[in-house]
Chain A
């Protein structure tokens, strides 16, 4: 348990991705089964102990500690589990035990609502402070330590020198503590049997299109819809919905999951129904990304939300048809199978992303330039003879995003970055002019500049600071930044009532006086 606790703390305090990978990979290599599997499950939020609730822990604290002292402490610490871990009265002279993680998991799993308080108290009693914290976090679920499933898989692949793609596939096939996965990766055991499991297949990804032209007899064109890329898989009566990173998001979209009742695996764009945006081109009926955002990242979803923002998937590709893997087939054959597959699905939850029908590339370029629809990010170009390949392989798929919009904004605030950028002011909030001549924030960006430009921006912030608010500095409103962004929407996030999608610093316009920066009204006119 102490090793696990040390790992948790290392992951909490380290901001560097590489250091996290290294810490986790080392732990996975050096820890025996089944402990390492339980740890992996805990870190990726795949463990659930329904008998242990946040209230169990709070009530337990109430029996050992004065409620007022607990309340004051909780207020100071800001986290119930951590407060209990710190405050739990250690037994004088009793050396804390270092129980195995699997012993702790077994103890927690064996609890019922009635036995949970005593079981947790018993565990707390035997542990040192850091282990108490790790155990409570484990018991309550939701570690929230900034470790994505993707990062965990990469660390796993790194630990045993196996391919991430294979890890991706097998991962979903297995239940914690993933003993077969470790047997395969660490000890050269047989690959796990996946035949009855709707597991995740790695996505085929695209490169940005930077060429002049393509032959549309070789490449098919599709709209690039502005939702989130998902994969939905069904086999043996079980359906799972996966995000691009391979995280299962079925719980956030029960409407879509329940409606997918044909065996197979398809790739598409998840969106919510909206006011007929995208109606002028094929498909129609999707809302902007902003509307979808309200439904992302939820563990449960209310009836009201299901009604107000019904989700659907616009299908791009078919990977598995019934029980047959179609990934080896060229795109045009898969497309044929997909067109046969879609009519078998519930029409208002699943539709087909149309192939753009244009005579030649010039016509496509023209169409792309004229589309300013909120639900469209640009155009996809897919080679007609490409199989469905995992990852981002050159020459097969291209994304040809709409040209970004740009606006000249004035830097208003700056904040320090993280990790390598901890000593730099690298996150900038910028604004445009209101009709009253006031500068209102319209967005925040932390990319798009070179290292040399970052140094220059950092120097500007330090030399032009007006006020400090903790990590944030307010700067003199003199520097114009040309900001590029994919689209702009109404939003309550900023005072201006606008929010940009994918804003980045395009150019530093030291030549431009701040008065000549854009007006909020100009940006409002860009809202689709």
Chain B
């Protein structure tokens, strides 16, 4: 694939835009890079020149200490080597963007990661017509349909009510998922403080600095055990069964992830209360987006590409899978 004649070249380590000499979401340091969003499998430190949204640059700054970068607003264009770039909201996490490129009359969109459900912490997905649609496929199998989030938040409240002497500990990724869960709790009327594992605090503060209101947040480290009974605590998934959780009042372990759709996955992680909450498009969103856009070609970057590829075949759409490495590692659904 690397020797494809097209002006966009998929490589295992990223997508290379030859006429502009720019990489999209490269997995290693490159002189010139456009970054779709702040998750570590898309945004790496050490690039020379970086273009991204203001929010993505701020997230990268927090994570890698890189403050250099050129901020682009959604819809704003720039030109490099005859290619016109613009960023369009992807609805995945705060600052996430699809990248539209136009070159010699051909339009190519790279989605990065995206979802089409409403999310109070980021701008909604924008449908960008194109000739070549380069999509993710994290949940590219028909078993993955995410239920409405209100029902999942309701499950969490039900459990709190049933066992008020325990707390519910929700494993949620530090960037995006944690803030979305908090914002959805607020939208559902939860005005108690939400307690945070230390690893989530900085990112939540950054979200607030960037204008996302998360209500009252407290640090688990500063809170006596008894105070957290009947409350909601958030931590990164890795801390769910860690020694850290011993300081909580008999936690119900919950996990917010699209993978929680599958019982075996939840059991593997020792999760008692699986919450099917995802920042990615589910099967219906993936397929309906391709149907809505009807691109000339669909390229699939990462995830269950076989499933989506098969769907394209069944619906007689031209499609190919790109072999990309290391994607889908950080946010994991």
Give chain A's interface residues, CB within 8 Å of chain B: 9, 12-15, 65-66, 68-69, 72-73, 76-79, 82-83, 86-87, 129, 133, 416, 418, 422-423, 458, 462
Contacts and interface: CB of A to CB of B under 8 A. Distances in A.
Contacts of A66: 310, 314
Contact of A86 (B143, B266, B310): B143
Contact of B143 (A77, A416, A418, A423): A77
A66 B283 CA distance: 14
Contacts of B294: none
Contacts of A87: 142-143
A87 B284 CA distance: 11
Given A65-B142, A72-B306, A86-B145, A423 B267 contact: no
B141 interface: yes
20 contacts: A9-B263, A13-B272, A15-B272, A65-B142, A69-B142, A73-B142, A73-B143, A76-B304, A77-B262, A77-B264, A78-B264, A79-B263, A82-B262, A82-B263, A86-B262, A129-B147, A133-B263, A416-B241, A422-B241, A423-B241
B243 interface: yes
Interface in B230-275: 241-243, 245-246, 253, 261-264, 266-267, 270-274
Contact of B304 (A9, A14, A72, A416): A72
B304 A86 contact: no
Contact of B141 (A72, A82, A129, A422): A72
A276 to B, nearest CB: 45
B307 interface: yes
Given A87-B142, A423-B242, A72 B310 contact: yes
Contacts of A82: 262-264
A76 B141 contact: yes
Contact of B267 (A13, A65, A422): A13
Contacts of B190: none
B143 A422 contact: no
A142 to B, nearest CB: 15
Contacts of A78: 262, 264
A472 to B, nearest CB: 13
Contacts of B314: 66, 69
Contacts of A68: 310
A219 B62 CA distance: 77
B311 interface: yes
B261 A423 contact: no
B264 A79 contact: yes
A129 B152 CA distance: 14
Interface of B: 141-145, 147, 241-243, 245-246, 253, 261-264, 266-267, 270-274, 304, 306-307, 310-311, 314
The DSSP consensus for interface residues of chain B is: mixed
Nearest to A76: B141
Contacts of B243: 423, 458, 462
A129 B144 CA distance: 11
A73 B263 contact: no
A58 to B, nearest CB: 15
B158 to A, nearest CB: 10
A9 B270 CA distance: 13
Contacts of A422: 241, 253, 270
A305 B66 CA distance: 68
Nearest to B310: A68
Nearest to A85: B143
Contact of A14 (B263, B272, B311): B272
Contacts of B274: 13
B311 to A, nearest CB: 7
A73 B314 CA distance: 16
A224 to B, nearest CB: 37
A15 B273 CA distance: 12
Contacts of B142: 65, 69, 73, 86-87
A470 B262 CA distance: 19
Nearest to A78: B264
Contact of B246 (A65, A73, A423, A462): A423
A73 B141 contact: yes
A437 to B, nearest CB: 35
A82 B266 CA distance: 13
Nearest to B276: A129
B140 to A, nearest CB: 9
Contacts of A13: 263, 266-267, 271-274
B235 to A, nearest CB: 12
B152 to A, nearest CB: 13
